[in-house]
Chain A
Amino acid sequence: MGMAVTSDTMVDVNDLVVKYGDRTVLQDIDLQIHRGETFVILGGSGCGKSTLLRNLSGLMRPHSGRIAINGDDFTAMSDNERVAIRKKMGMCFQGSALFGSMTVGDNVALPLREHTKLEPSTIDIMVKIKLELVGLSGFEDYMPSELSGGMKKRAGLARAMAMDPDIIFYDEPSAGLDPIVAAGLDELIRKMQHTFALTSVVVTHEMESVKLIADRVCMLDKGRVIAIGTLEELQKVDHPFIEQFFERRPDAYGEDSADYHESLTGDTE
């Protein structure tokens, strides 16, 4: 894979290493996310996929390595320098992370009020448009606690879309939702990507969702990328973990004695 940042590379990750204290969570991560695609980060629980997303969105700073967003070295920037990039970045959190003390409308309006000098009346209109976009028109004056799980996620998406971002991160968008609501959200993710040529990065472990939304998939296991490609390409890869994941097979009991030893002694190396 070429190291050069081409115009159609939105996110370029090189030699990323992430540690929590002495524990290495992610190792030798190299990947490119293309402009306008839906890139799914797939993997089992605890494989480091959420940590990868936190690094891509700048919520965590890596131990070493480089993340470039739109050609700018995101990792080397100070928090103040990051603001410009963050204005063009949206994130949907697992639990929606709407501000509980504000109405849904104020949640969506917040980035606009803080980052732009738009008239309040213009902001009101934009809030209506964003809520309409996610199918929540008329919910401006509701408090987040009055919404259902699926509606909260939609409102979170409306907030993430407020500044018309170039790239949007989704952390487990379908977690905790029933299949119908989850499918609705998948459709919404697809719609956003098509309508706004949005680069979408989705962390999930829901295979159904991956089939619907993914342009390309990155498979993580034990902190390493084990394969990147379209879903069809991945299904052809001959790797025990990928096969097991796609076939939804449980770990055989006592199969991995080294892991078991690790879990008892706490040795990670």
Chain B
Amino acid sequence: MSAFVGYTGRLTLNGLHATLTVCVLMVDTLYWATVAPLRGQGFRLKNAVSQFVEFGAHSLPIVMLICFLIGAIMAMQSSYQLARFGAVHLVANLVGIAAMREFAPLMTAIIITGRSGSAITAEIGTMKVAEEIDALEVMGLNVTKFLVVPKFIGMLLAVPMVTLIAIATMIFGGFLTSAVVIGLDASSYITQTADALVFKDLVVGVTKSIFFAIVICWVGVYRGFQVYGGAEGVGKETTSSVVTSIFLIIVLDMIFTVFFYFV
């Protein structure tokens, strides 16, 4: 019993400490991303752009492939059920809304977590183990400005943009399947999709993706700085980074879904 209480207590304290650390990191990142450049303390634009390309452009092929397939799967799965009610034409609504509000942002976030969230943790962790973080500090270079802000800006731009492309690809996957496999009329599928989607759906999808970007970046960075004890530590924190990130993304997705359900 006391072991259980102790365990719960430790878990809570560790959780609180992690939250506090992440909060400090957040404030610091926001300062160096917004206030500091205006004060002439510099901003590593080139670095941010290269991170944006790495997180965004380089993840496009895999994100598009997966989203295309998921669009196709959704169309086929839903057509079976909808056919029983003679409502096969509603496949367009289902695929369109589900892609835009839910699956495109979610899949994009999960793929980018796997590709880049892990890479962020591994990079920072390796730098920590190799004393490179200490080297930055001794040189009087701000670690947040130098390492975190470019990743943060890159991620904040990349995830929503990739999400937009993912939405289009997923809808296209559903469209192609419906037209070719299920045998729906192509032009009426397009009108049906256009009628079903409203601007708010896009707002929901993009809002989610922005918050997912923040989660991926800060979990990755936080876990990277937690690394100690060599290559093994890097591996451990990288795994943990991906797991934590995906977990938080899904929890956040749930919260947003509930929120937008009522709003």
Contact = CB atoms under 8 A, between A and B. Distances in A.
Contacts of B127: 99-100
A59 B138 contact: yes
A169 B135 CA distance: 12
29 contacts: A57-B138, A58-B137, A58-B138, A59-B134, A59-B137, A59-B138, A82-B140, A85-B140, A86-B140, A87-B140, A89-B138, A89-B140, A91-B134, A95-B131, A97-B131, A97-B135, A98-B135, A99-B132, A99-B135, A100-B132, A110-B139, A111-B140, A111-B141, A114-B42, A114-B139, A114-B141, A159-B135, A163-B139, A169-B138
Nearest to A59: B134
Interface of A: 57-59, 79, 82-87, 89-91, 93-95, 97-100, 110-111, 114-115, 159, 163, 169
B130 interface: yes
A100 to B, nearest CB: 7
A86 B139 contact: yes
Interface residues of B, number: 14
A93 B139 contact: no
Nearest to A101: B123
A91 B140 contact: no
A26 to B, nearest CB: 18
A84 B139 CA distance: 10
Nearest to B44: A114
Contacts of B126: 100
Given A99-B135, A111-B140, 20 more contacts: A84-B140, A85-B140, A86-B138, A91-B134, A91-B135, A91-B138, A93-B134, A93-B135, A95-B130, A97-B130, A97-B131, A100-B127, A100-B130, A100-B132, A110-B141, A111-B139, A111-B141, A114-B42, A114-B139, A169-B138
A140 B65 CA distance: 41
Top 8 A-B pairs ranked by shortest CB distance?
A86-B140, A97-B131, A97-B135, A83-B140, A91-B138, A93-B131, A111-B139, A97-B132
B131 A94 contact: yes
Contacts of A100: 126-127, 130, 132
A94 B141 CA distance: 20
Contacts of A89: 138, 140
A90 B134 CA distance: 12
